[in-house]
A and B are shown apart, each in its own frame.
Chain A
């Protein structure tokens, strides 16, 4: 099973809402990632978790709060977002950090902030 699943597929939320994105993998991977992708742009790295600990935060605003409750699950909690945060949010996993490890991506959650 080389699948990374993300739920929901689509999400519309208001600026005062709190919502969460979920990502799951059952490949035994110990590194997991969140990316943000705006239309016609490449994915931008947001967060990296290694062995359930936050390893990299690419200076992401605090209205985005990641969580890795176990080795298979990665969440992204959203609060007080702005319309410019509307984007495709991609999750990925890899066996571990370090060179020579390929990443497997999920299909993404398309977020619209109204």
Chain B
């Protein structure tokens, strides 16, 4: 897995977009970027993944830079229920090794 670097913590106001950055400067050409989140005491939840192109689903958008060295997860309208630890992983075999992640706190 390519090493990923994420901020330790971030705050976001409820209703605003949450933009979570991830640096993966050593990513190889066949490694996907995955995002998972873990709400306290629950199992991790898959959010989105992408290889080269930007991706969007019902939960979030993933923006990957053209050189693929970094990406941003966007939660378009954050709610209090989005408070969680968000993990960014670069991997090509789906054997995920989680880093420390970003603790996102959504505030009223």
Binding site for B on A (CB under 8 A): 4, 31, 33, 42-45, 48, 55-56, 90, 92, 94, 96-108
Contacts and interface: CB of A to CB of B under 8 A. Distances in A.
B95 A106 contact: no
Nearest to A56: B95
Interface residues of B, number: 26
B100 A42 contact: yes
Determine chain B's interface SS by DSSP, over half rule: loop
B43 interface: yes
14 contacts: A4-B43, A33-B95, A33-B96, A42-B98, A42-B100, A42-B101, A44-B97, A45-B97, A55-B95, A97-B95, A99-B93, A100-B49, A105-B44, A107-B42
Contact of B31 (A55, A99, A102): A99
Interface string B67-108: 000000000000000000101000111111111110000000
Contacts of B101: 42
Contacts of A108: 42-43
A98 B31 CA distance: 10
Contact of A99 (B46, B51, B85, B98): B51
Contacts of B46: 102-105
Contacts of B36: 103
